[in-house]
Amino acid sequence: MTEVYRLSSCLPDATAIARAADVLRGGGLVAFPTETVYGLGANALDAAAVARIFAAKDRPANNPLIVHVARIDEARELAAEWPDNAARLAERFWPGPVTLVLAKRPIVPEIVTAGAVTVGLRIPAHPVARALLEAAGVPIAAPSANRSNEISPTTAEHVVKSLGGRIDIVLDAGPTSGGLESTVLDLTARPPRILRPGLIAPAEIEALIGPVERPSAVLDTSQQPRASPGQLPRHYAPRALMECCTDGGSERVAVLTRQGLRLGWLTSAYAGRDTFSADTKAVVTTIIMPTEPAAYATRLFAALHELDDANVDRIIVDLPPDEEPWLAIRDRLRRGSVQ
């Protein structure tokens, strides 16, 4: 049985937080909102509890987890080194959606880092996440609260749909605001390397610590070992096959509907739709996406969940422009469409 507690996102109910904190300290699993997506938390210092995360998600053991902490000094207790650039980034972006990968101390169990000598650390900004960390008094290992390779959850309903019955508690504080995961930055590399683009743009990081290595614009679909195993080419994928169109998807939509497919279409070009016949419109679930990157990010995963729920055969996406503000969004869309 999974218990679901509804609570206010700005003033979280102390009783629900205390109950969730107890469950965490006792080795249980608690899903909670962050400012990016919902996370599935366990006591990061308890290897058996962390093993339950991997089991609940069917997550491969070689994919390390991010450890969430309440304060910078707690992050420093888990990291073997605290270089100057870590101090500057933490000061500027925490609490917030940047994960810093640093050399780990032995106190961090190997299962958390998938055997790696580094650990990913972040202080989340969401008041519920912060209240939970304070009440639990332990660092919380938390991947996104979805089964491995499914779409990340931005609502408690998404969490229950994917993990209901497999975890102890869901703290439901409504939809998350950011919508995409944190930027993962490897500070042990020279120069520092962005392992996963996210809500904080490379330029914002570079303004603070100088040049960083950016993720390649081309997806590496080879089977080579990766620095960040979560960066498998296919990831964040809806059930239906997804196709990204660089110059608008309306023609593709017209062709595939003629073949009898039920389509989902993520588009910003509302006007294109009026050229469709009534027959076409009837079999296409069109979701009009925002034209501004932050708003698009907030909406993206929920839109993909809706199309999964609508049982479409294929999802057509008008790929947003190849510009830096769209970097993380294009990354998720393209990973979702790898076959």
Residues that bind ligand TXA (CB under 6 A): 34, 36-37, 39, 63-66, 97, 99, 101, 113, 116, 118-120, 124, 142-144, 181-182, 184, 195-196, 228-231
Query: Closer CB to ligand TXA, residue 265 or residue 301?
Result: 301
Closest approach, Cβ 311 to ligand TXA, in A, equals 25
| 300 phi and psi angles, rounded to 5 deg | -55, -55
43 binding partner (options ligand TXA, Mg ion, none; Cβ < 5 to 8 Å by kind)? none
**319/270 Cα distance (integer angstroms):** 14
Look at residue 63 and give the partner it binds from ligand TXA, Mg ion, none, a contact being a CB closer than 5 to 8 Å depending on partner kind: ligand TXA
Q: Could you tell me the sign of the dihedral formed by the alpha carbons of 93, 99, 101, 103, in that order?
A: positive
Query: Which of Mg ion, ligand TXA, none does residue 127 bind to, with CB < 5 to 8 Å depending on kind?
Result: none
Residue 312's contacts (CB-CB under 8 Å, 6 or more residues apart) are 240, 262, 263, 264, 285
Q: Which is nearer to ligand TXA, 23 or 316 (CB)?
A: 23
Using CB positions, name the residue nearest to ligand TXA.
Answer: 230
Q: Does 176 bind Mg ion (CB under 5 A)?
A: no
Phi, psi dihedrals of residue 70, rounded to the nearest 5°: -90, -30
- Kindly state the smallest distance separating residue 37's Cβ from ligand TXA, in Å: 5
- Say whether residue 34 binds Mg ion (CB under 5 A): no
Shortest reach from residue 230's CB to ligand TXA, in Å: 2
Q: Which does 118 bind (CB under 5 to 8 A by kind): Mg ion, ligand TXA, none?
A: ligand TXA
Mark residues 197-236: x for contact with Mg ion by CB under 5 A, - for none: ----------------------------------------
Asked if 18 contacts 135 with a C-beta cutoff of 8 angstroms, the reply is: yes
Among 144, 250, 267, 298, binds Mg ion (CB under 5 A): 144
Q: Return d(Cα 67, Cα 84) in angstroms, integer.
A: 20
- Nearby residues of 106 by Cβ (< 8 Å), 6 or more positions away: none
Structure tokens at 252: 């593709």
For ligand TXA, give the closer residue by CB, 119 or 284: 119
Sequence length of the chain is 339
182 binds, among Mg ion, ligand TXA, none (CB under 5 to 8 A by kind): ligand TXA
Reading the block at residue 100, the tokens are 């810093």
Q: DSSP letters of 245-299?
A: ETT-SHHHHHHHHHTT--EEEEES-GGGGGGS-HHHHHHEEEEEPPSSHHHHHHH
